[in-house]
Amino acid sequence: VPVFLFVAAPYIRRYVAGGRCKSTARLEGKVVIITGANTGIGKETARDLAQRGKCSARVIIACRDIAKAEAAASEIRAETGNQQVIVKKLDLADTKSIREFAEKFLAEEKELHILINNAGVMLCPYSKTADGFEMHLGVNHLGHFLLTFLLLERLKQSAPARIVNVSSLAHHGGRIRFHDLHGEKSYNRGLAYCHSKLANVLFTRELARRLQGKFQRQAGFTANVLHPGSVYSELVRHSFVMTWLWNIFSFFLKTPCEGAQTSIYCAVAEELDSVTGQYFSDCQPAYVSPRGRDDETAKKLWSVSCELLGIQWD
């Protein structure tokens, strides 16, 4: 058995790594925002996009932890030579912080070509955001919903532009429990994560539908969603058991670089210029759960999200 594993190991790793983004697209003059890019797949996505072209993209790392973000940005700048890797404060668990980030961005930047809604929380003990939203729903869905709303016009003005939402295979286990969105009647942190990832899929579906039309077709303004794979990262830090399992089975998990490939693919691949509202995994279209294809639920979630955030988004 040890000999077999030794021989098979490279093939196992190649299978686990999954698809790779083969696009050589350059991003000179482009402006990119990546939330939660101080670690994990977000950091690797930022690293890749920062080095696409001699006059590379301006990559904005939007994070809650400024110290970690500055360390990540410094590392990426040194490695890529791109001095336009910038850190901005963004706490997705606080709508005040989201609005302040958007206000400062719109005052400082005249264009925005790629928005990657990457940040997320997983398996949190029951808690609420500053605005009283259940933490998974508040950060993973509502925070990014509001951020996208606030930046949408700048994206339209900069088209062609792309919105990339990071979801998960876990969306298959999710339901949108409109009668108990904030888990006040019953709460399971694993299911809460699944529910929020389903919300990502439904948000993307409804956003793409609303963007469709003459403008979207002409300008190449798209919104897609993805599953990065099972990645060895800090995302499971709230669960001792999952952290233990992640460490034991790390050989069978994607590295953050491997996990970032589909995010990168959705952000830059030329063949996706006019593809919108799709779900990807391993750099190719993937199966979406029936709940993730429910247009009525998607429309209702959109309406409820607007109501919770106090916005009008028609």
pLDDT at 220: 87
pLDDT at 252: 58
Residue 314 included in any domain: no
Strands of the sheet with 284-285, listed across from one edge = 85-89, 58-63, 31-35, 114-117, 161-166, 221-227, 279-281, 284-285
Catalytic residue positions, numbered: 193
pLDDT at 229: 83
Q: Determine the longest span between alpha carbons in the chain, in angstroms.
A: 62
pLDDT at 3: 56
Residue 182 included in any domain: yes
Residue 18 included in any domain: yes
- Regions of the chain where pLDDT drops below 50: 1, 5, 11, 244, 246
Residue 29 included in any domain: yes
pLDDT, tens digit (0-9, with 9 covering 90-100), for 106-160: 999 999 999 999 999 999 999 999 999 999 999 999 999 999 999 999 999 999 9
pLDDT at 40: 94
Phi and psi torsions of 167, nearest 5°: -110, -140
pLDDT at 1: 44
Give the number of other Cβ atoms within 10 Å of residue 160's Cβ.
Answer: 15
pLDDT at 170: 96
Q: What CATH number is attached to the domain comprising 49?
A: 3.40.50.720
Residue 8 included in any domain: yes
Q: Are 47 and 312 in contact (CB under 8 A)?
A: no
Q: Which domain holds residue 99?
A: 1-309
Residue 253 included in any domain: yes
Residue 281 included in any domain: yes
- pTM for the complete prediction? 0.91
Q: Are 223 and 165 in contact (CB under 8 A)?
A: yes
Q: Is the dihedral of CA 155, 160, 165, 166 positive or negative?
A: negative
Residue 25 included in any domain: yes
Per-residue tokens: 193: 């994560």
> How many separate domains does the chain show?
1
